[in-house]
Structure formats: C-alpha cells, structure tokens
Structure 1
Amino acid sequence: MKRQDVAGDWSELGRLAAMAQERVDHLDRLGEHTHAAIAGYWGNTMVHRGADGGILKLICYRADHSLSVWEDGEWVNGRWLLNAGQDNSTICHTLEIDGRLASWCHSFAPYKTVGDRWISPETAGGHPTYPLSIGGVPVVDAEGKTVVEGVGFGPGQVMSLEDGVVQALDVPPSGQTRVRSRLAALGDKTDEGMEGYFGNTMMFKDDAGKVIEVIYYRPDHTMRSWRDGMWVEGQWLINDAQDNSTIFQTREIFGTFTSWCHSFSPYKKIGDRWIAPETRGGHPTYPLTVGGVPVIEEDGVLLVMGTRFGPSLVMSMEEGLVPPEQSASDGVHAPEQGGKDVES
C-alpha cells in the first residue's frame, strides 16, 4: 500500500499499525518459520504400526502443504493444516477421492525426528486427549521390551518417524477404506454443519453487549473477520468427516500465514445464542461444548442453559451481513467485499 493511499485516514493507519504489532507478537512466539514443528516430517514418513509391528498406515507430509496417506492398499492425496498459531497439537487432513473433499482433524506430535516413536491417543473428534497426548507420549525400549515411557506397559499400536519414503505393502486395495466409507456416508452433505452461517453473521458480544468480533463464513471456504477495528481475510476448514466440532482458520498478517483451531458449533440458525468454551489449543471442552451450550433469556436476563450464571461472552447468529459497531469509516473493508485466496 502506497503512503498516499492512507494519508490522513487515521482509522486505516490504526488498523495497519495494529496488524503490524500482531505480526510482531506472533513472530516473537513462532519465529519466521511458522511450521518448524512439522519440518522434521518432510522427506520422511510417519508410520502407524499395529501391535504385531505390521504397517497400518503411512503418511507423507510435504512443505507445500500437500500430503499422501496410504491405508488398506491405497494411496490418497490431500492437504494438511497445522494449528501453528496455537500449540501445534492438532493437524487437519483434507483428502480427495474421485474429486470429492472431506476433512479430518488428528492429534499431532510436533518436533519429531527420525527414530522417534510415540502414541497419540485422540478423541472421536480427533482432538488430543489432554494433557498427556499433546505432543504424543514417547515409546521407549526398557529391559528388552517396547513400552510407553513412564508406565511400563506395551503400547499396542505405535507411531514412528522413519527415514525417507517407506515402501507401502503390496496388498490389493479393498475399496472400503475408512476414508471412502466416510465420504460415502457424507454423500452430498459435506460442510452441511456450516450452512446456517453462510450469508449471515456470527457475532461475539461481551456481557455488557459490546461487539468483540464478527465473522462471515463463505461456501467457498473463504472468510472475513473483524476484531479490534480490523478486517482480516482468511480461509476456513471444518472437520466435516468427523463431528463438525473444530474449525481451522488461516489468516494472513502482512505476508505471514498461520492457522488456529477453534471449538465450533454446527447447525446454527438465525436467532441462536450460545457459548463454546475451548481449551488453550482451541479444542472443545468435551463433551458439553461440542455444538456449544445454549444461552437462554429468563426475565430479561441471559443465562447459560442449565445454570444460574450469565455468560461472559455470547456467540449469536444474526440474519444477513451485520456490520460491527466500530467499522472502518471509509467503507474499504466492508463485509460485502469479495474474498481473496490465501495459502493454507
């Protein structure tokens, strides 16, 4: 942006200054290489072995965000996204079969090197079973046996990072992998949990009614969000092949891309109000908050359903594109603008 483009436009200058500070803060935490946590996987293979040592799954991650997954005699290609803006505890796989896409999230073990072995227990929605499995639980050799470190029990299935591209087993594909089965079950309902959001406004307000954030999700997987007086473009992915409980959001901050995962409440409609508490890594605090906890009104007072407590932050679905109370004065960043592609 040229200097004359913003000269005298204090709201725009303030927005750019706030974004610059956010980028500095972000890079202070992550460094210039925001995907350092997964770099050890590139050029190598994450191998999932059964208790008998046989190969169950192979995953090859690449620096360009592509991946290949082998299971049941078949290679499937797709894309990966890591919640690098938080704690690197969850990775989202978007896989493609016969031109159809669906996404899964999985517990992720960051900063692994060739030779490492571990287990990564996860919930049905793919989140790490907090706190032990964030980063995976190491598997070690003890007295001639392979055990989970600190407990002395055999690990059963083990994940490992092995050198180079590991040769897949020469077995005929059954055509009934979990990926294919899940895509068949989804039918034409991919992203169905998001439909109520499209064309409407997801709004966050504090207990005093002040607008904290608004988010506009689009069917093409782009999004626009407003917070602290700033409009920011991004992309979203939801774990639609699981339970729709987690959304990944990728934002660009002056050329630096990174991603966050957040607890998500699917199937919302206009007029709904809820809270969606989440862990530090953005996962829903299972089980109540998968789908959010409704906020209701009693005698003019907002209460979290099932309690006598008021919510400190309320999420709501508002009809149409509702601007925040503090929007940019020049209208340049109005929500009606089209989205731009960003690298996920």
Structure 2
Amino acid sequence: MSQQTQGILAQVLQPGSTLSQRLEGLHHSMLDQVPVVERIACALYDPGSGEIKTFISSTRSGVPIKAYNYPISASKSLSQIMETGKARVIDEIQQQVTANAEHSRWLLQQGYQSSYTVPMYGASGFIGLIFFDSLRTHAFTELVQRDLMVYSTLINLTVSSELSAIQSIIASAHVARDFANLRDFETGAHLERMAQYAELIAQELAETFSLSDENIAHIRLFAPLHDIGKIGIPDRILLKPGRLEADEREIMKSHVVLGAQMIDKILADFSLAHMPGTSIMRNVVACHHEFMDGSGYPAGLKGEAVPAEARIITVSDIFDALTSKRPYKREWSVEDAADELRRMTAEGKLDGRCVEALLKYRDRVQRIIDTHVDPE
C-alpha cells in the first residue's frame, strides 16, 4: 500500500471525528493528485420530501451554502443523475448555469467555473450527491474524473456506512417499541411531523446555535427517539385517559431516564458510542423535558445548560401535542398553539428563539400538519 493511499485511508477512518472533519482531511490529502478541486460537498436525498439537503462540505475558499433544501424534481440534470446513475459535468458554470434558484445564485457568486457531480448509493438505493467544484473552466477532464473515482467511492462508503449505523440504532429502538407493544399516541405521523418541525427550527437557528448541516441531519434523524423510554411505562399509566395522580406522574417521568439507558445500551451493543452525533441522540432523549427556567426534569437543567437540540425537540413536541387530537382533547389551531408556546416562553420555560423560528414558517407548518395526518 502506497504512502498516499495510507494517508487517504487514515483521513477517512479517523475514529471519533465527524464526517465533516473526515471530508476536510480527505480533501487536503487529494490536492497533490487533483489540485483543481476547490470544493467538495455532499447532499442527502430525503425520499419523504423528495428534497436534496445540504449535509457536509469542505471548501478551500468562499462561503459554503448551509441549511438548504431543494426539490430534486425541480432540476432536470440532478433528476437525471438520480434516475440514470450517470455523473454530470458542467464545463463553464458562468455560461451554462442560470440564477433561477438560491443554490444557482450562490454557485455563480462564489466564482466556481466548472463542476463534477456524482450519485451516492447505500443499501436502500440512491442516497444523495457528491459535488466537486473548481475555479477553473473545463477542469474535470476524463483523466481528472478517473482520478476522482477512488475519492468519490471512499466518500460514498463513508457517508453510507455512517447513515447505515444510525438507521440500525433507530431500527433497534423501533423494534423495541414494537416488541413492548407500545400503544400510546406516538404514531408514525406524529414522529414524522415532530422531526420536520425540529429540522425547520434547526435550519433557521443554525447560525445562532452553531449547528452544522451534519448536526441538523442528526437532529431530524434522532427526533423520533425522544420518547423511546415509554416502553418501560405500564399501560395503566401510559394509556390512562384522564389526569394522572401524583405517584403516576412520577412513574411517567421516569421514561426519560429509561430512554437514556436504552440509548446507552444500544450504542454499546453496536459498539457505536464513539460515533459523532451520539451526544445529540442522547441529549434528545435525556433532556427533552428540561425547561429553560430549571423547572423541568429529570435533571432540572437551566438556561444554557439545556442543550440546543433538546430545546428544539421540546418546542417541536409540545407544538405537535397541542395541534394533535387526543382522546381527552380536540386539536388546537396553529394560532392557539402559537399563543400557548409564547405564553410558556414568557414564563421562562421555552427558548423563545426556537418558538419564533417555528412560527416564522406557518405555511410550511400547516403543510406538514395536512400531509402527515394521524390515522383514525
């Protein structure tokens, strides 16, 4: 094995480093062989929404595009990559690309002159795209494309392996829920709505909370696990239609600690405790009932001690609970739910930035509600 190959593998296999860090290391290693590549970026495909979403990138100069979603069907050339599996080359970006979308305008503003886009695949099929951009026109010759083949394969394998590991964790949690015959109000529609609300808030507050696109993807992926500890709560309490007694409330509260213990066990069983993003997963489960004023549980965290991802999940979960029908209540309108979230913010319980980030996009929120309807 050559020293160069050893160096490349060392960058890809760095234990404990994020995908973004590994991509940056790989980018640095490849410059001796392919110096024309100014930027590498990966975007993930969400089959649920049909959108391509920014994920990780390494940029030598310029400003990266972040927290951006785009319907892949709106781009004929990107749709063709997904459908055919064939790469796309743009030799003269400034002449061939029109500024008809945010990412197109960004591409032109950054001064990139040519680009090479290849599809990524995982066990489930198409999972996204890898973009290579250059400041030179006609940079991606057949020889350069051949040189990039090994790098694009390594990037694809690295991304798909991590996503597969995450999906294994989520699948294990879902199996545990099913095995325990969990019968509360955590429908698939609720979990999907909540995940989309969380993603919406995280994207809006990415700069405020210093969230990378990789962090945002993890928040969306891990949001459905927030109440996994409820599998340890007796049905007589979990499914009780009326108000819980004081002792029953304490038992119900224990689902948070039970959930954190479950996540720790799953991570240990899969030997994934070192994987970047697991802290976000644990915080989503362990801290989603903490309040900003310290009145939450189980740890009574206060202010900045409450992780940003937990604040996001808390607002998403409460909003969905308010706007969903339950046996003991009707669904609230978005306006009424907004008033309640703002009341809780005024009381010091919620992070107002998360509340306003969600309410800023009321049309999108209403579409999420209308699209993901609970079964009767």
Range into which the TM-score falls when normalised by the shorter chain:
under 0.3
TM-score w.r.t. structure 1 length?
0.28
Greater relative contact order (Cα < 8 A, sep 6+): 1
Structure that is richer in strand per residue:
1
Q: Whose helix fraction is larger, Structure 1's or Structure 2's?
A: 2
